[in-house]
Amino acid sequence: MPTLLVSIYCLFYSLLPHPFYISLTDMVYNRDKNSIEIAQKIFWDDLEVALGQVSQSKVDFLRPKDPKALNELAKNYLFAHNQIYINGNLQKIHYLGFEIEEDAAWFYMEIENVPSPKVVRIKNTILLADFPTQQNIVNFYLDKSPKSIITSRNKQEGELRY
Is 84 part of a structural domain of the chain?
yes
Is 7 part of a structural domain of the chain?
no
- The tens-digit pLDDT sequence of the chain (162 residues) is 444 334 444 444 444 555 679 999 999 999 999 999 999 999 999 999 999 999 999 999 999 999 999 999 999 999 999 999 999 999 999 999 999 999 999 999 999 999 999 999 999 999 999 999 999 999 999 987 899 999 999 999 999 999
Residue pLDDT, tens place only, 32-58: 999 999 999 999 999 999 999 999 999
Structural domain for 123, as ranges: 21-161
Is 122 part of a structural domain of the chain?
yes
Measured CA to CA, the distance from residue 20 to residue 12 in angstroms comes to: 16
Q: How many domains does the chain have?
A: 1
Distances (CA, A) of 108 to 22, 26, 40, 42, 119: 17, 10, 6, 11, 23
Measured CA to CA, the distance from residue 134 to residue 101 in angstroms comes to: 20
Sheet containing strand 94-101, strands side by side: 94-101, 104-111, 35-43, 22-30, 135-142, 145-151
